[in-house]
């Protein structure tokens, strides 16, 4: 499938994630030595002029305006899906059927019902990679947090406390975007923000969420329609969701996801309290992990502030000398490095790469249960 040590990538979607992924595919070979090198083969966007501008800037070799055309091309090995949530399932399934490796942005789809055929298509694929871009797993500090849990430094976990706040929807005059429309997004901050912290909680703790209770609210019910002066459209998703969780081991968790978190731009935070230790992480200070070692003598106990830039920290060695910090874009570069590593190693590594569609479907089960619980005002089982 790959040619002369190259992996030819086609990316669908050209805006926020389009830029993040263009940068990652461009930078990965510079920082991470991998036997396979990516070729930015095809960029697909509906707006040809914009796609051509982005292609010129980042070095994409060809431009398409119809994603179906992309899948027909035999000069494409990997399809990277960076489109709104309503346009994940169809191209992902078609790409797998066409024999392509697939990377898909999160959330996997709008709901579990839509995820299941994606999971089946991935299982039926003939060894192609299926991967979901929960990029916060590739923050060195969170990857280190996972390692510390695997090393049993926390012991039994009692609490997982997660918050994801921004203030992106607080202006009532901001136009109705796809993220505010249930038919396009599936949900609001539930699929947008809660998805990330549910994934981070599962990733770091290694635990599944068994049941949830939740409250959701839409604060601004109508918004201006862009390009139609004087007209407003209905907001059909929640603006904020709060979720209580009971984990498979009996641990209790809380999750708050809101676009009305005044004061915060991208506060993605997780804290885990265990029998032997605790961990804290905040994305706005993403190079640091706070660790509390409760096995140390009492008189020495306190939060250790780890600057996660040492060569033996996950991913950090690929970049700068210790103390020279990295940023948001590196999480996507690290994804591309892991993808190229797996493709280079072959079937077992491809099958083992996480999070895959089946794993991301577990996140979706929690998200669907949260919306159900918000409506029913009862605890709901996730099925995880
Ligand atoms: N991993 C993360 O941290 C992260 C951050 C933001 C967004 N996302 C996810 O990435 C996806 C895209 O979000 P975004 O913020 O880039 O959205 P965006 O609105 O900035 O960009 C969406 C892109 O999809 C294109 N598109 C829409 N319909 C299309 C079609 N039929 N054919 C071709 N292109 C089409 C649009 O033209 C645009 O280029 C979403 O699923 C979102 O949840 C993930």
Q: Is 45 in the pocket of ligand 1 (CB under 6 A)?
A: yes
Q: What is the number of the ligand 1 atom nearest to the C-alpha of 177?
A: 19
Q: Are 382 and 369 in contact (CB under 8 A)?
A: yes
Q: Which of 4-8, 46-50, 99-103 has the lowest mean pLDDT?
A: 4-8
pLDDT of residue 189: 98
Task: Please give the distance, rounded to the nearest whole angstrom, from the Cα atom of residue 103 to the centre of ligand 1.
Answer: 13
Q: What is the number of the ligand 1 atom nearest to the C-alpha of 332?
A: 1
pLDDT of residue 35: 86
Residue 312 has pLDDT above 70, yes or no: yes
Task: Please give the distance, rounded to the nearest whole angstrom, from the Cα atom of residue 378 to the centre of ligand 1.
Answer: 33
Residue 29 has pLDDT above 70, yes or no: yes
**Cβ-defined contacts of 52-55 (< 8 Å, 24+):** 54/14, 54/18, 54/19, 54/22
pLDDT of residue 3: 60
- Report, as an integer, the average pLDDT of 153-164: 98
SS3 213: strand
Spatial separation of the C-alpha atoms in residues 135 and 360, rounded to whole Å: 12
Residue 185 has pLDDT above 80, yes or no: yes
Q: Is 14 in the pocket of ligand 1 (CB under 6 A)?
A: yes
Residue 213 has pLDDT above 50, yes or no: yes
Q: What is the pLDDT of residues 268-278, one digit of tens each?
A: 999 999 999 99
Q: Is 190 in the pocket of ligand 1 (CB under 6 A)?
A: no
Residue 1 has pLDDT above 50, yes or no: no
Task: Please give the distance, rounded to the nearest whole angstrom, from the Cα atom of residue 306 to the centre of ligand 1.
Answer: 34
Spatial separation of the C-alpha atoms in residues 241 and 128, rounded to whole Å: 35
Confidence of residue 34 (pLDDT cuts 50, 70, 90): confident
- Report, as an integer, the average pLDDT of 171-189: 97
Q: Which residues on neighbouring strands pair with residue 359, listed in sequence order?
A: none
* C-alpha closest to that of 355 among 133, 143, 90, 181: 133
Q: Is 105 in the pocket of ligand 1 (CB under 6 A)?
A: yes
Q: Is 133 in the pocket of ligand 1 (CB under 6 A)?
A: yes
Q: Is 229 exposed, middle or buried, given 0-12, 13-18 or 19+ CB atoms closer than 10 A? A: exposed
pLDDT of residue 2: 54
Task: Please give the distance, rounded to the nearest whole angstrom, from the Cα atom of residue 110 to the centre of ligand 1.
Answer: 13
DSSP per-residue string spanning 256-300: EEES--TT-SSEEEEEEEESSEEEEEEGGGTTEEEEEETTS-GGG
SS3 237: coil
Q: Is 199 in the pocket of ligand 1 (CB under 6 A)?
A: no
Spatial separation of the C-alpha atoms in residues 110 and 53, rounded to whole Å: 30
pLDDT of residue 222: 97
Q: Is 67 in the pocket of ligand 1 (CB under 6 A)?
A: yes
* C-alpha closest to that of 55 among 66, 68, 42: 42
DSSP per-residue string spanning 141-199: HHHHHHHHHHTTSS-SEEEEEEEEE--TT--TTSPP-GGG-HHHHSSSHIIIIIHHHHH
**Token pair of 145 as six digits:** 């947090």
- Report, as an integer, the average pLDDT of 296-320: 98
Q: Are 276 and 154 in contact (CB under 8 A)?
A: yes
Mutation choice for ligand 1 from 16, 60, 166, CB with most ligand atoms inside 8 A: 16
pLDDT of residue 4: 76
Spatial separation of the C-alpha atoms in residues 233 and 225, rounded to whole Å: 6
Q: What is the dihedral of CA 206, 209, 214, 219, to 10 degrees?
A: 40
Q: What is the pLDDT of residues 52-67, one digit of tens each?
A: 999 999 999 999 999 9
Q: What is the number of the ligand 1 atom nearest to the C-alpha of 85?
A: 41
- Report, as an integer, the average pLDDT of 164-191: 97
Task: Please give the distance, rounded to the nearest whole angstrom, from the Cα atom of residue 372 to the centre of ligand 1.
Answer: 26
Q: Any residues with CB less than 8 A from the CB of 311 and at least 6 apart, and which?
A: 317, 322
Q: Are 41 and 8 in contact (CB under 8 A)?
A: yes
Q: What is the pLDDT of residues 124-133, one digit of tens each?
A: 999 999 999 9
- For all residues of the chain together, what is the average pLDDT? 97
Task: Please give the distance, rounded to the nearest whole angstrom, from the Cα atom of residue 84 to the centre of ligand 1.
Answer: 4
pLDDT of residue 33: 87
Q: What is the pLDDT of residues 196-208, one digit of tens each?
A: 999 999 999 999 9
Q: Which is it for the CA torsion 314, 319, 321, 326, positive or negative?
A: negative
Q: Is 149 in the pocket of ligand 1 (CB under 6 A)?
A: no
Catalogue all structural domains in the chain, each as residue range(s) with its CATH number. 6-136+350-354 (3.40.50.720), 138-326+362-376 (3.30.360.10)
**Token pair of 319 as six digits:** 């970049």
Mutation choice for ligand 1 from 12, 13, 44, 70, CB with most ligand atoms inside 8 A: 13
Mutation choice for ligand 1 from 10, 12, 14, 17, CB with most ligand atoms inside 8 A: 17
Q: Is 17 in the pocket of ligand 1 (CB under 6 A)?
A: yes
> What is the pTM (predicted TM-score) of this model?
0.97
Q: What is the number of the ligand 1 atom nearest to the C-alpha of 19?
A: 16
- Report, as an integer, the average pLDDT of 88-98: 98
């Amino acid at each position: 499938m790959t040619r002369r040590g190259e992996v030819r990538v086609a990316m669908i979607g050209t805006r926020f994630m389009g830029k993040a992924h263009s940068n990652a595919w461009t930078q990965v070979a510079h920082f991470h030595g991998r036997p396979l090198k990516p070729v930015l083969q095809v960029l697909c966007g509906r707006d040809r002029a914009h796609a051509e501008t982005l292609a010129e800037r980042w070095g994409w070799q060809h431009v398409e305006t119809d994603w179906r055309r992309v899948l027909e091309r035999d000069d494409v090995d990997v399809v990277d899906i960076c489109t709104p949530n309503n346009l994940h399932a169809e191209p992902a399934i078609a790409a797998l059927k066409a024999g392509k490796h697939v990377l898909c942005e999160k959330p996997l789809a709008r709901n579990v019902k839509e995820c299941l055929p994606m999971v089946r298509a991935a299982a039926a694929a003939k060894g192609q990679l299926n991967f979901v871009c929960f990029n916060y797993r590739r923050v060195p500090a969170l990857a280190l947090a996972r390692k510390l849990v695997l090393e049993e430094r926390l012991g039994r976990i009692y609490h997982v406390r997660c918050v994801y706040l921004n203030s992106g929807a607080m202006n009532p005059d901001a136009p109705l975007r796809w993220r505010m429309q249930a038919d396009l997004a599936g949900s609001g901050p539930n699929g947008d923000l809660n998805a990330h912290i549910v994934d981070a909680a599962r990733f770091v703790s290694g635990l599944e969420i068994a049941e949830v209770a939740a409250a959701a609210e839409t604060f601004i019910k109508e918004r201006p329609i862009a390009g139609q002066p004087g007209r407003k459209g209905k907001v059909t998703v929640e603006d904020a969701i709060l979720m209580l969780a009971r984990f498979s081991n009996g641990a209790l968790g809380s999750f708050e996801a809101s676009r009305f978190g005044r004061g915060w731009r991208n506060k993605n935070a997780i804290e885990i309290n265990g029998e032997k230790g605790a961990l804290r992480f905040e994305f706005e200070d993403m190079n640091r992990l706070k660790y509390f070692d409760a096995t140390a003598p009492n008189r020495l106990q306190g939060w250790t502030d780890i600057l996660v830039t040492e060569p033996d920290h996950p991913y950090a060695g690929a970049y700068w000398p210790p103390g020279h910090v990295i940023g948001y874009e590196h999480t996507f570069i690290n994804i591309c490095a892991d993808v190229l590593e797996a493709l280079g190693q072959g079937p077992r590594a491809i099958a083992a790469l996480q999070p895959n569609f089946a794993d991301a479907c577990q996140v979706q089960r929690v998200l669907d249960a949260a919306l159900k619980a918000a409506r029913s005002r009862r605890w709901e089982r996730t099925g995880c």
